[in-house]
Amino acid sequence: MFRLSKMVLNIFRLLAILVSAGLLAFWGLFWPAPDQVLDVSQQTLASLLDLRNRTKYVEIPGSIYNGMRPESRRVIAEAQLNSLIDRLRDGLPSRPSKKFVLSEFAKTMEDFESIDTEDREQLLRYLEEIMHTLGIENSDGLLSRWMYGPLLGPLAERLHRKP
């Protein structure tokens, strides 16, 4: 009798630990991150314009990325990213916030139709470049959730943030 009650108690303890860990893992999904006010200068807007004027989704020498194919898909993806940059350049002077930027990122990621992982990673590189230009340290998990899904995204975000 004593062994059975001890075993049941240990099972309840294990369940309590697993439920607590699960709640902590998803806490960030339910608790909104604080907004960040961005310093938007003429230099910042010029850097965004430089990115806009570059040809995107083309082969990067010295890497495994060989560009988006077919060309018609590359042109569409480039136009989507250029549209994002235009929306940011137009909206940031009046709404210089991280939440504004991330909401615009979400619109672009929703429209992005490539099934190729390398193309998706390339979009994330462009978004991270924009974040760096604007002084945004992290995406509060938005990029990881888009790339890896709602379950693996938060885990990937934590692993990425470790020093």
Same domain, 91 and 108: yes
What does the radius of gyration of the chain's CA atoms come to, in whole angstroms? Answer: 21
47 by DSSP, 3-state: which? helix
The first and second tokens of residue 125, run together, are 């590189």
The pLDDT value given to residue 34? 79
Q: How far apart are CA 155 and CA 11, in angstroms?
A: 26
- pLDDT > 70: percent of the chain: 82
Contact 130, 118 (CB under 8 A): no
Question: How many domains would you assign to the chain?
Answer: 2
User: Scanning the structure block, which residue is given the tokens 């959730």?
Assistant: 145
Query: What secondary structure letter does DSSP report for 37?
Result: B
What pLDDT, in 10s, does the model give residues 99-152? 999 999 999 999 998 778 999 999 999 999 999 999 999 998 899 889 888 767
Average pLDDT for 158-162: 62
pLDDT tens, 90-101?
999 999 999 999
SS3 category, 41: coil
Same domain, 27 and 39: no
Whichever domain contains 148, its CATH number is 1.20.1480.40
Per-residue model confidence as pLDDT tens digits over 1-12: 567 677 777 787
